[in-house]
Amino acid sequence: MSSDSTTTIHDLKEFVRAFRDERDWLQFHDPKNLAEAISIEASELLELFLWKDTQTSRTSLEGDKRLRASVEEELADILCFCLNFANTAKIDVSTAVKKKIAANKLKYPIERAKGSAKKYDKL
């Protein structure tokens, strides 16, 4: 079985692309529908933590095997739709993430942001 340490983003993009193509689903994978699917799946992940406080959400995730399995499934759904979106929009995920972190480094300099949850314009 492969893992994060042995699987590239390219491998995952190809894996979800093959799954999609085998089912002739490209016709449904336009940016709008994929963005909606990402949002819907993210909401389903959020729903798993509804009415739990911060500490309970942490301990439940560690101790409740059914919750953990559900969280993994929802996270996988989100990631699959994100990868399908990247394929459809021809976005290089690694480049996009690196550009975003570079921009965030400017918005959140360590000396002002470390240990703070404040938004960049409030630091």
What integer pLDDT is reported at residue 2 of this predicted model? 83
CA distances from 97 to 9, 15, 24, 46 (A): 12, 20, 29, 23
C-beta atoms surrounding 116 within 10 Å: 10
What integer pLDDT is reported at residue 88 of this predicted model? 97
Instruction: Calculate what percentage of the chain has a pLDDT beyond 70.
Output: 99
User: Taking all residues of the chain, what is their mean pLDDT, rounded to a whole number?
Assistant: 96
- Whole-angstrom distance, CA of residue 115 vs CA of residue 93: 28
Residue 29 · residue 84 · CB < 8 Å: yes
Summarize the confidence of residues 76-95 as an average pLDDT: 98
pLDDT tens digits along 29-82: 999 999 999 999 999 999 999 999 999 999 999 999 999 999 999 999 999 999
pTM: 0.91
Q: Report residue 86's pLDDT band, with 50, 70 and 90 as the boundaries.
A: very high
- Whole-angstrom distance, CA of residue 109 vs CA of residue 113: 6
Element (H, E) at 4: none
Q: Report residue 28's pLDDT band, with 50, 70 and 90 as the boundaries.
A: very high
What integer pLDDT is reported at residue 114 of this predicted model? 93
Residue 1 has pLDDT above 90, yes or no: no
- Domain assignments of the chain as residue spans, ordered by start: 9-91, 92-123
If one looks up domain 9-91 in CATH, what number appears?
1.10.287.1080
Residue written as tokens 């963005």? 35
